[in-house]
Amino acid sequence: MLLLIQYTLIFASVLILVALGGCYSEHSGVINLGLEGIMVMGALGGALAMRYLPISIPGFFYILLVLLFAIIVGVAYSSLLAVAAINFKADQTIVGTALNMLGTAAATVIVKAINTARNPHDVSSIIQYIEPKKKFIVKMGSFEFNWFMLITLIVLGCAWFVLYKTKFGLRLMACGEHPQAADSVGINVLKMRWSGVLISGGLGGLGGVCYILAGVSEWRFEYGVAGFGFLALAVMIFGQWKPTKIALAALMFGFFRALSNTYFGFGFLTALNLPSTFYNMMPYIISIIVLALTSKNSKAPKAEGIPYDKGQR
């Protein structure tokens, strides 16, 4: 049972971070379908940091640097979406899909090039981080506390406060609801949309490195992040673009994802003799069912996905 709780919390942490990133972007008026690719690139930044940073760095500073690298790479990669969708008014769905395809491919090529440079016979896309991973985990008896659980709680609280209690958050949401009205009172819509997308990239990068640390002590980048970017989008929609509801939705989806890792510990589940692939499919099946039942009542930001035209009223 403790193992199930542990996995539920860490997978929920991934989903909360990435879904909050999508929430910021969509509240600004930009649909970020590229969260999957951003997660992969953020994971790459964090994994490379863990590979090359001296392990002798004190734990707090080590974790901080790894997070910083993941955020920077995520922000840099998301800027491609911002340039295309905001400045050039490109179709946001197409740009996001392209980012997803490019992210996994680019990360795989980069890692293979790094491994080949170190060893000409090594053409794998694997990065190992066995010792660095231990810095993110605190043993509490049979329960492993991951620092990402605390980081996610802090980010969640900050997201609620920023969106509902600050001028920046209210202006950001105004740009996603009625950008022309926001512009008429002096709000720079393009600047706010850029801010939303870049924050989305930073949180997506954090979610990416959190995802790879939730698994084994190495990562093969050609595997990507197993659709977690899309699952986070489902969490965001089910959570009605609100941080507190997103957290509850993430816990539900995280539970079903964790079940695929721990079902063998429950006698009544193993007695069903269902293949392991069934449990791996469960969170995605649940997401389809949930979205089918709730999408009619979804209240997305009114101007999301619509390029801003200053002359339109």
Neighbours of 66 (CB within 10 A): 24
- Does any domain span residue 196? yes
Q: Which residues pair with 140 in a beta bridge?
A: 143
What is the chain's pLDDT, residue by residue, as a tens digit (313 residues)?
788 899 999 999 999 999 999 999 999 999 999 999 999 999 999 999 999 999 999 999 999 999 999 999 999 999 999 999 999 999 999 999 999 999 999 999 999 999 999 999 899 999 999 999 999 999 888 889 999 999 999 999 999 999 999 999 999 999 999 999 999 999 999 999 999 999 999 999 999 999 999 887 899 999 999 899 999 999 999 999 999 999 999 999 999 888 877 766 666 566 677 777 787 788 888 888 888 887 777 888 999 999 988 766 6
In a domain, 293, yes or no: no
Give the separation between CA 40 and CA 100, rounded to whole angstroms. Answer: 9
Q: Looking at the domain assignment, is residue 306 inside a domain?
A: no
Its pTM stands at 0.95
Looking at the DSSP bridge assignments, the partners of residue 38 are: none
User: Residue 282 falls within a domain, yes or no?
Assistant: no
Residues spanned by the domain of 116? 13-229
Does any domain span residue 197? yes
Domain count, the chain: 1
Helix (H) or strand (E) holding 272: none
99 within a domain of the structure (yes/no): yes
Distance from C-alpha of 250 to C-alpha of 266, rounded to nearest angstrom: 22
Any domain includes 111: yes
Distance of CA 127 to the CA centre of its chain: 20
Q: How many angstroms separate the CA atoms of 112 and 114, rounded?
A: 5
Residue 264 in any domain: the answer is no
